[in-house]
Amino acid sequence: MSVMQLFQPSATGIMKDQVARYVVSVLTPDRTGLMRGITTAITDLGGDIQGISQTVVQAYFTVILVAEFKSSVTAQSVQMTIVENFPEHSISVMVREFHDHCEASSDSERYILTLMGREAPGILKQLTEYLAEQAINIEDWYFRIDGAMVTHIGEITVPSRLDIRRIQEDLRILLEPRDLRVHCRHENIFRATNELESIGLMLDLQTRDRAKPDRKLKHV
């Protein structure tokens, strides 16, 4: 399996006041056919998958999805039906009732944040502390370690009231002592200047670039 994201509106005609919506989270060692087992279980219960995000982290498969069912379908029945499609004790499934939450403020902009440099414990702690203090939300985050080097790529939502140039400078000062290069670009600029849309493929490309001779890390 590979990194995948898909968000679509419901394609069914089920009335909203006659449905049960659940958030389903699955964790298991990776192998082929996992998504088939999960989606088959949901479909067999008459479910409609409305949003899904799936990835593999160091040979562990994980997926979170939102699905809509007839009101008679319980969270326990969803969990049991998924588990029954896999070998005993091989999969962890959590099902929770879906509750609407306030979405992130529309008065914000999405940026792509990249960090490249030497791997060391505490990078994410230091970074996320700063982002939380600035009310900057992390929407997606991936990183890959290659020997002594690491590459982080994330999507963040920055309130429009903040000066992105100050944010970039703060991050540079914060992470420069860790020998990390920091780039923060608006998502539109990022997409316009990068042909690769898959974050996973971008990580592969940057790993190959670092392996080239005569390539040296430089601070921004």
Q: What would the pLDDT profile of 106-145 be if each residue is shown by its tens digit?
A: 689 999 999 999 999 999 999 999 999 999 999 999 999 9
User: What is the band of 204 on the pLDDT scale with cuts at 50, 70, 90?
Assistant: low
What local confidence, expressed as pLDDT, does residue 184 receive? 93
pTM of this structure? 0.72
Tracing tokens 């088939």 back to the chain, one arrives at: 36
Backbone dihedral region for residue 109 (phi beyond 0: left; psi -120 to 50: alpha; all else: beta): beta
For the chain, the average pLDDT equals: 85
User: What is the band of 215 on the pLDDT scale with cuts at 50, 70, 90?
Assistant: very low
How much helix, strand and coil, in percent to the nearest 5, is found in the chain?
Answer: 30, 35, 30
- Residues of the chain with pLDDT > 90, as a percent, come to 73
- Residues of the chain with pLDDT > 70, as a percent, come to 77
Q: How far is 60 from 55, CA to CA, in rounded Å?
A: 8
Looking at the chain, the domain(s) classified CATH 3.30.70.260 span 4-97, 108-211
CB atoms within 10 A of CB 111: 22
- Tell me which CATH code domain 4-97 carries: 3.30.70.260
pLDDT exceeds cutoff 50 at 153: yes
Q: How far is 27 from 64, CA to CA, in rounded Å?
A: 9
DSSP 3-state assignment of 218?
coil
What local confidence, expressed as pLDDT, does residue 2 receive? 41
Q: How far is CA 131 from CA 49, 88, 134, 152, 165, in A?
A: 32, 41, 5, 15, 14
User: What is the band of 18 on the pLDDT scale with cuts at 50, 70, 90?
Assistant: confident
Topology annotation, domain 108-211 = Alpha-Beta Plaits (3.30.70)
User: What is the band of 200 on the pLDDT scale with cuts at 50, 70, 90?
Assistant: low
pLDDT exceeds cutoff 80 at 217: no
pLDDT exceeds cutoff 50 at 176: yes
Q: List pLDDT tens digits, range 57-103.
A: 999 999 999 999 999 999 999 999 999 999 999 999 999 999 987 55
What local confidence, expressed as pLDDT, does residue 163 receive? 96
DSSP 3-state assignment of 45?
coil
| Burial readout 62-97 (b: 16 or more C-beta within 10 A, e: otherwise) | bbebbbbbeeebebeebbebbbebbeeeebebebee
Element (H, E) at 220: none
What local confidence, expressed as pLDDT, does residue 179 receive? 94
pLDDT exceeds cutoff 60 at 15: no
